Amino acid sequence: MKKESSSGDSITFLGTAGARFMVAKQLAASGGLWLSLGGTEILVDPGPGSIVQSTKRKLMGDKLSAIILSHRHLDHSADVNVMIEAMTRGGFNKNGWLFAPSDALDTEPVIYSYLKSYLEGIEVLEEGKSYHVGDVSFSTPVRHIHPVETYGILFKTAEHAFAYIADTRYFDGLCRSYAGELLIINVVLLEARQSIDHLSMPDVERIISELKPRVAILTHFGMNVWRKRPGEIARRMSQQTGVKVLAARDGMKFDLSQLDYG
């Protein structure tokens, strides 16, 4: 019998800008990732403009089951409050969960206190823990090296496993944590810079060569990457690694059924 096709798992890139200059000038959008996984909708890292980018693409906040913040930096969390309002219909419909590291919630919370009661609950992300939203499970295998508490995320659905490698400096053990059919990697830098805790293109090439996913998608570009054209860089990296490497574009929708062929 023919295998049933994927239940419509997809990832929509509501932005591809990373770090402050790209975001401040909105040279690319910065709305995060919208995951639609077997009917469960999850928003990851709603940076500035997430509400604009999502509604523009007919992705409605009240369909969300959860919002996940990899970390508290502005380019990942600026629209979290308005997205909570959207998810809960302004608080009239208690709905959805927020997942975030403790330092996004404790001393200087990134969400307004009056919004907390709108949510079904808040769960604190910690290293090595697993979580569930509907039929989707995800884990935060390792704490990243970044100026604030940061986690990447490994997602598992009935049919697919994929990883989101959020902001981090490269470190031994990063690769070990993120095997999957698909890797989404935030890559801000063209070349490694000692003083900046972000991945560079050489780091990413090393990660892709080691993990050999079916597909890797680069996103969250800094200014120098942007100037060198992410699509060109991805094309060269595909040739170097033998892995299909794509550069995300604003509004790009990646259907996870693409992982099932070839």
Greatest Cα pair distance, the chain, in angstroms, is 56
Residue 199: CB partners within 8 Å, gap ≥ 6? 165, 167, 168, 169, 170, 185, 186, 187, 188, 189, 207
The CB-of-186 to Zn ion minimum distance in angstroms stands at: 8
Asked if 149 is part of the footprint of Zn ion (rule: CB under 5 A), the reply reads: no
Contacts (CB under 5 A) with Zn ion, residues 55-74: 73
Binding footprint of Zn ion, residue count (CB under 5 A): 2
Q: What residue type is assigned to position 142 of the chain?
A: V
Rounded Cα–Cα distance for residues 193 and 142 (Å): 22
Tell me the closest approach of the beta carbon of residue 214 to Zn ion, in angstroms. 27
**Toward Zn ion, which CB reaches closer, 41 or 167?**
167
* CA–CA distances in Å: residue 75 to residues 23, 45, 46, 136: 7, 8, 8, 25
Q: In whole angstroms, how close is the CB of 146 to Zn ion at the nearest point?
A: 6
Looking at the Cβ atoms of 41 and 79, the one nearer to Zn ion is: 79
Q: Is 167 in the site for Zn ion (CB under 5 A)?
A: yes
User: Which span (6-14, 115-123, 159-167, 188-196) binds Zn ion, by CB under 5 A?
Assistant: 159-167
In angstroms, give the least distance from the CB of 6 to Zn ion. 31
Half-sphere CA count of 114, side-chain side, radius 13 A: 5
In the complex, the residues that contact Zn ion under the rule CB under 5 A are 73, 167
